[in-house]
Amino acid sequence: MRFLQTGCAVLLLPYTYTVFKSIFLNTLLSWLLLLVVGPVLAQGPLFTNGDGPEQDCGLTLSGKVLDHDTREPLIGATIYIEELQRATLSDEYGNYHFHHLCRGSYTLKLTYIGYVPEQPSLRMASSTVRNLTLHLDTRQLSEVEITGNRLAEEAQSTGSLTGRQLESTRGLSLGESLKNISGMSTIQTGPTISKPVIHGLHSNRILLLNNGVRHEGQQWGSEHAPEIDPFVASELKVVKGAAGVRYGADAIGGVVIVEPSALPDSAGVGGELNLLGSTNNRQGGVSATVEGKATRLSAWSWRLQGTAKRAGNARTADYFMQNTGLQELNFSGALGYKKENFGAEAFYSQFNTKLGILKASHIGNLTDLENAIGRERPEQTSYDFTYAIERPYQDVTHHLLKTKVFWDTGSAGKLEFVYGLQRNIREEYDAHRASGSNPELTLDITTHTTETVWEHTPAGNFSGSAGITTLYQNNTYQGRYFIPFFRNFTAGTFVTEKWRKDKLQLEGGVRYDYKKLSITKRERNSDIIRPEYQFHNVSGTLGALYDVGYHLTFGLSATSAWRAPGANELFSDGVHHGSASYERGNRDLNSEQAYNFEGSVTYYANPRLNGKLSVYNNFINEYIYLAPVQPPTLTIRGAFPTFEYKQADAVFRGVDLDLEYKFTQQLYLESRTSIVRATNLNLDDHLVGVPADRYSNMLRYEPLAALGKLTDSYLALGGTYVAKQTRVPTKTEQDYMDPPAGYFLLNLEAGTTLRIGNQPVELGITGSNLLNTSYRDYLNRFRYFTDDMGRMLLFRVKLPLDFSTR
Amino acid sequence: MSKIFRLPLTFILIAALVSFTSCDDHDDEPHDEEGELITTVTLTMTPQGGGTPITATYRDLDGDGGNAPVMTPAIVVLKAGVTYTTTIRVLDEANNEDLTAEIKQEGHEHEFFFVPSPATLMTVTKTDKDRNNRPVGLENTLQTSSTAQSGSLRVVLKHQPGGLKTNNSTISTGETDADVTYAIRLE
């Protein structure tokens, strides 16, 4: 039981940073948590090794990873023990080691870029020294940019969700899934609309890269959720902080990368079937994938995928939220042709969603809003559960067509060309009286993107790439005015280089972008105006990574990015629904320019404690924000407070801390801390809408051996504590309601795999807000009107399918 | 050969479908269509026992923002100590529509509220009823104070759908469709 007490101490550690009052609550909850887990740990068969007390678990496996032919040590090769799900990297001398292994048989998975992967097995009876060799893969050598398990590809901090972590978020929206990465939060509009926030920045300040194409819709709107089906992804990755050089304009806060798995390269037809069901909003869903390749030598491979989801009214701890259902229907197809040094790929996806918007958020004026804030709960809560979606709602369709061609020249490097075509149609149905069946507003935007990248063959210690990107888009609308017609042409060119020798890696890059925005707008007096804007800017990046040995790496990076003002910031003019404010664009805005500085320490591949600490400072010159102006706007529904887009220098600074502590091989604690502070430097005041401090701790148990017929089982219990946001603007009136109190949510994840005949069946449960806490989140725009979601259990069944006849 | 090109062809066709349906119409011009909205609230006050009816209009023709709403007359002059029979008309002058009948028909989901300031300025009594025998307020009597003074009358139209309108519903219930204030002088 000793480790349990340590467990508790560590579990509580992050909370000591918070206010004393909240400590009390959390201590209590943490103890409660332990009371629940404690007895299980003490007596449950889950947690014993089953091999009796003689079991020796202090064995060490070590050795060198070598090139089979030259006997050169391989630096940074990944050695993964399948049974334990533990990985390590070979160090600068090719040495690797695993500590605290138990006796038994293990399968090692050995991977290194440019080499054929190996899977040697070994039986451990005592500590063992074993050298591992790998064969050079002439076919794979060209593919330098395999997303591998190597640590720290770049100095700038990234986070990612893959494998089991990603699986446990299946069924959630993209924004909610990404919350499991430190430094991430979401901005919400009720329970259905959720957008990712990186280091306090969101919407048009972060870039979404969907299958290698920058996602373009109406992403400027904080109530416009990303039109991406997370089921397509085999990896969700986040680049935190300004990353303009490689990804282009707008990546001021960072980049979210949604990466599907590569098309199959082994013969046969396979796939997977996912079934979902949840309590609370009674969500049901199904997602299926089929993929294949005719023969081993065939160059063609393909994939088809589809997802359907439906949910009804979500429930807070105490009542249903009226009209908060959602429907989603997505599908995609991919076809690939791949030869040794030439390949092509085509991908098409369609995303369709219908999102109900909380009835109570439809208000007429400021008095209505103040009445709503004054009420404990929405006026109409006597509603039962229903799947029906009424006005107001959004209906959005997003098409993406991507074609990619690559040509590997061998000596001169690799050339890749990507063309993307997107069309985003957003229909908004208002809750006006006696509306017909047509939407009050349809926004329609078509985007063409190209990217041509040349990646040169590594020369000496240098590797790098250069490229040209273009974007052309056309935006139109029908119905009420929100943003004008516009055409946007952007072109950019970049070059990045990386120098790596021994323990040091240096990287640098520079980029130039030009943007032309042509507006067509009908003025209030019916005149048509056609103003044109031109912006151009240089972005740069510098980074250094130093491996000091002893499993410790230091990283420093300075990156920049810029963003031109959006059509909404220049030309919006009207009452903003649900926020009872009149928003006015500013036609004289300049570009924002961000300079992000980050320092990080990574402590990795250690037997017990591993983690990463990252400290950042993101300066944004001419940050565009809504500032209150006088006088209020008088309308037929009374006076509305008026806001206009203004610019000021701002800084977003903060800390992300990831920690993992292994009590035993099976039991470990995962801890994530995200803290961000944002200041308007001109006013010397806080900025509005910045995420509150967030602490997340999860105790995970993963038995090494199979439990009867159950394999790959896991159980995790923990909680997220979100503090009250106390840093809000004090010099101007920017919000109608004080930030809500901090809250603690108890969460659970569990899963296992069983076999029915030859068919593996993966089962999983993700439970959130288990204590059914009523709370409101500062970054939920509907906190004026309703509590957040209550307890929800999400059940998942996944069937990996293999139609090949062996 | 042909088989190999069949699938890429499908993709090209989809591409064509997506792009051409959204093809740029050069020199396309936006036409803003506001949904049904209230631009005008007019009170017609006829003194009981004879006299010239007095009208008071609150009008915002270009919708929210832009030009400020206009009141005609700027100050409504009424006689002290007189009871006026009052009717209200609600218009959408941008789309040339009279919304009064619609409000009357949906009377069970609508109600007018009257807030005189100071409270002693006048007493407003709703005289019309909806199908549930609850007041609507399109028709009223307005009894002014016997003391000559200046003040204002705020007229608020609430939309109270889905069972929100009850015997106990108030000015704080539901969503505001109109909220206008007239300057009043009693002589």
How does DSSP assign A88-153, residue by residue? EE--TTSEEEEEEEPSEEEEEEEE-TTB--B--EEEESS-EE--EEE-B-TTTTT-TT---S-S-S
Least CB–CB distance from A367: residue in B64, B65, B179: B179
Q: Look up the CATH architecture of domain B40-186.
A: Sandwich (2.60)
Q: Distance between CA A170 and CA A157 in Å, rounded?
A: 25
Query: Using the beta-carbon criterion (under 8 Å), do A433 and B36 form an inter-chain contact?
Result: yes
Q: Look up the CATH architecture of domain A257-802.
A: Beta Barrel (2.40)
Q: Which helix (H) or strand (E) holds A343?
A: strand A342-356
Residues of A in contact with B30 (CB under 8 A): 476-477, 481, 484-485, 520-522
Q: Distance between CA A617 and CA A560 in Å, rounded?
A: 11
Residues of A in contact with B66 (CB under 8 A): 524
Query: Using the beta-carbon criterion (under 8 Å), do A446 and B22 form an inter-chain contact?
Result: yes
Residues of B in contact with A634 (CB under 8 A): 60, 68-69
Structure tokens at A414: 């690799």
Cα A688 to the center of its chain, rounded Å: 23
Q: How far is B136 from chain A (nearest CA, A)?
A: 17
Domain ranges of chain A: 257-802
**B179 vs A294, more confident:** B179
Q: Cβ neighbours of residue A783 under 8 Å, at least 6 residues apart?
A: A737, A740, A776, A777
Q: Distance between CA A280 and CA A794 in Å, rounded?
A: 9
Q: What is the pLDDT of residue A175?
A: 94
Q: What is the pLDDT of residue A782?
A: 92
Half-sphere exposure at residue A735, Cβ-oriented, CA atoms within 13 angstroms: 23
**Would the pTM count as exceeding 0.90?**
no
Q: Cβ neighbours of residue A756 under 8 Å, at least 6 residues apart?
A: none
- Match 């967030």 to its residue by tokens: A694
Closest C-alpha to B82, from B120, B111, B49, B58: B49
Taking 50 as the pLDDT cut, the residues of chain A under it are 1-54, 139-151, 806
Q: Distance between CA A280 and CA A273 in Å, rounded?
A: 23
Identity of the residue numbered A688: V
**A106 vs B140, more confident:** B140
Query: Using the beta-carbon criterion (under 8 Å), do A480 and B33 form an inter-chain contact?
Result: yes
Q: Distance between CA A352 and CA B137 in Å, rounded?
A: 44
How would residue B163 be classed by pLDDT, with cut points 50, 70 and 90? Answer: confident
Query: Using the beta-carbon criterion (under 8 Å), do A364 and B35 form an inter-chain contact?
Result: no
- Match 């949904």 to its residue by tokens: B35
Q: Cβ neighbours of residue A613 under 8 Å, at least 6 residues apart?
A: A600, A601, A655, A656, A657, A658
Closest C-alpha to A231, from A158, A169, A186, A159: A169
Query: Using the beta-carbon criterion (under 8 Å), do A636 and B7 form an inter-chain contact?
Result: no
ipTM above 0.85, yes or no: no
Q: What share of chain B is helix, strand, coil (3-state, %, to 5)?
A: 15, 40, 45
Structure tokens at A656: 């992300």
Q: Distance between CA A190 and CA A118 in Å, rounded?
A: 49
- Match 């995303």 to its residue by tokens: A351
Q: Phi-psi category of A63—alpha, beta or left, where left has phi over 0 and alpha has psi -120 to 50?
A: left
How would residue B11 be classed by pLDDT, with cut points 50, 70 and 90? Answer: low
Q: What is the pLDDT of residues B95-121, one digit of tens each?
A: 888 999 999 999 999 999 999 999 999
Query: Using the beta-carbon criterion (under 8 Å), do B64 and A633 form an inter-chain contact?
Result: yes
Q: How far is B40 from chain A (nearest CA, A)?
A: 8
Distances from the Cα of A601 to the Cαs of A312, A548, A614, A670, B160, in angstroms? 45, 11, 7, 17, 58
Structure tokens at A475: 């935006």
- Please tell me whether residue A27 adopts helix, strand or coil conformation: helix
Q: At what angle do helices A20-43 and A2-12 cross, to 10 degrees?
A: 150
Specify whether the CB–CB gap between A505 and A155 falls below 8 A.
yes
Residues of A in contact with B11 (CB under 8 A): 335, 346, 348, 401, 403
Q: Which helix (H) or strand (E) holds A582?
A: strand A581-584
Q: What is the pLDDT of residue B15?
A: 52
Query: Using the beta-carbon criterion (under 8 Å), do B11 and A401 form an inter-chain contact?
Result: yes
Least CB–CB distance from B29: residue in A380, A481, A528: A528
If you count residue pairs, one on A and one on B, with CB atoms under 8 Å apart, how many are there?
Answer: 137
Query: Using the beta-carbon criterion (under 8 Å), do A640 and B69 form an inter-chain contact?
Result: no
Q: How far is B121 from chain A (nearest CA, A)?
A: 21
Specify whether the CB–CB gap between A519 and A484 falls below 8 A.
yes
Q: How far is B171 from chain A (nearest CA, A)?
A: 10
